[in-house]
A and B are shown apart, each in its own frame.
Chain A
Amino acid sequence: MSAISLKNLDISYQSKKVVRDVTFDVAEGESFALVGESGSGKSTVLKAIAGLAPDWTGEISILGQARSHKVDRDVATRCQMVFQDPYGSLHPRKSVDTVLSEPLLIHGLGNRNSRVIDMLAAVGLDQRFRFRFPHQLSGGQRQRVAIARALMLEPKVMLLDEPTSALDVSVQAEILNLLKRLRREQGLSYLMVTHNLPVVSFMCDRMAVMNKGRIVEIAPASALHDGSFTDPYSQSLYAASGGNPDRKEMA
């Protein structure tokens, strides 16, 4: 059974087709990357899987179950999403404790106090942050809270939308390490959207390169080591990201 399976997915936005004929499978426990430049439709694919872009045709299934076009509670417990902007993804008036308790309240889960405490520990946040508000946290700490919120319902599939692109390099390293550790510890599958190829090299097993709404190539992450891409667009993206010979000499 695959974690995420997409078949012939077409997605429209305001009656304009922005993604065409996307087909790929993410195996359970795998970390899969969708890479491409802005406007390539990579984030739209993620939104459709999450249920935030309802105007699609084709087939989307999560852990073997086809999903509906709407946001639904059932999918919520299996699949969660982490957003790009740590400043926009937390409600400005809600404390960390409220943010983390909310998913438990929605799904009527008990034992909230201890679950929140455990989750803070799991994402590496000190307990003293529990009653702080977002404006009292740094970007990296906010992203940890956002990851914790997504994990509260113990989903098995995580959708990551450029989770570190708004962060400083040193903080990015911390968050990437955290995501990698959580995946190992909780047996998660990741589908990650990014434009940063070195991040893919660190985090992912396989990747799909998207250009103008289509997938042009699906390659193993090892292709980033030797540049063995077959599609000309993937090659140019690889070169522009610094994956060229003179970069190797410098390092």
Chain B
Amino acid sequence: MTTARTWLLADSPNSKLQANLGNGYRMMGALMRNPLAVVGMVILSMLLLAAIFAPWIAPHTPFGQNLGARLLPPSAAHWMGTDELGRDIFSRVIYGARITLMIVTLVAVISAPLGLLIGAIAGYFGGWTDKILMGVTDVFLSMPKLILALAFVAALGPGIENAIIAIAITSWPAYARIARAETLTFRNSEFISATRLLGASHSRVIVRHVLPLCTSSMIVRVTLDMAGIILTAAGLGFLGLGAQPPLPEWGAMISRGRTFILDQWWVATMPGLAIILVSLGFCFLGDGLRDVLDPKQGGKS
């Protein structure tokens, strides 16, 4: 253990792999010293485990109806009670983790790189490129996110895939803004000039030199935005425009539970708790990541 540690923290690493692993180890260590970040990581690993091992964790199938056991309150047999079709809510929440995770991952995979690239190109070239790209970005930014997503889903038709596309389309402009601001701070710096003088093409400079410097603030921002994305997805689900029944999506589950909220509170509350917990997890982790990756933005020390 000690030898692995000294190897990782070596001042003079002997290979690229050792240097990169060492950097990762230092960052991980810094993250581990932040209690909130650890809480966030624990929550998110629970989400991940729940999604992967859903069939083994869930005591019932998420779709199995049992009209004889409708709307039962939480008990030893049904930890979170049952819904109006007699399905086990706990099992549905566990399976819902898969959907939530899918939404979050796909949105991040689509919108973050898109925003990053557009922002970096705008910031790097400046001039007309910047004006046009940022004009488009501003148009998207000026519209409320949920309304825009609603419009897209209405046009594309309800469904989980379309909800993901709609959320991705509405969330890239914020990332483009950040990436542009970040790029402006170093686009005239000497290391960019030096790389250009070596004969590197613009695309090489953007991909290999500009983007890596924007990613850390991007990761922080995306993590902090995850909560918002989950809520938007849940909102779309709640309005019946996201995941369609019988998919156990948390927002849609709350929507179904709304009818019984006064008499059978658990139907809407349990998926709601799951949403709160996961959003909180992302926020905690995002704050921790900011302190580690982006020390100049973090308030303390």
What is A's interface to B at a CB cutoff of 8 Å? 50-52, 71-73, 76-77, 80-81, 83-85, 88-93, 95, 97-98, 102-103, 106-107, 128-129, 131-133, 136, 146, 149-150, 152-153
Contact = CB atoms under 8 A, between A and B. Distances in A.
A103 B19 CA distance: 21
Nearest to A92: B213
Given A71-B199, A133-B19, A149-B194, 6 more contacts: A52-B197, A71-B197, A89-B194, A97-B16, A102-B195, A132-B12
Interface of B: 11-16, 18-19, 23, 189-191, 193-200, 204, 208-209, 212-213
Classify the secondary structure of B's interface with A: helix
Contact of B191 (A88, A103, A107): A88
- Most chain A CB neighbours (cut-off 10 Å) among B15, B190, B200: B190
A52 B11 CA distance: 36
A107 B19 contact: no
Contact of A72 (B190, B193, B199): B199
10 contacts: A52-B193, A80-B197, A89-B194, A90-B191, A91-B209, A102-B208, A106-B200, A131-B16, A132-B13, A133-B23
Classify the secondary structure of A's interface with B: loop
Contacts of A88: 189-191
Contacts of B13: 131-132
A52 to B, nearest CB: 6
Contacts of A136: 11
Nearest to B18: A131
A49 to B, nearest CB: 11
A85 B190 CA distance: 8
A128 B191 contact: no
- Most chain A CB neighbours (cut-off 10 Å) among B13, B15, B190, B194: B194
A149 B16 CA distance: 18
A52 B196 CA distance: 9
A63 to B, nearest CB: 16
A77 to B, nearest CB: 7
A50 B194 CA distance: 10
A95 B198 contact: no
A150 B15 CA distance: 23
Contacts of B213: 91-93
B297 to A, nearest CB: 16
A145 to B, nearest CB: 11
B194 to A, nearest CB: 6
B190 A83 contact: yes
- Most chain B CB neighbours (cut-off 10 Å) among A106, A146, A153: A106
A23 B13 CA distance: 49
A230 B12 CA distance: 53
Contacts of A83: 190, 193-194
B120 to A, nearest CB: 15
Contact of B19 (A72, A84, A95): A95
Contact of A81 (B15, B16, B18, B194): B194
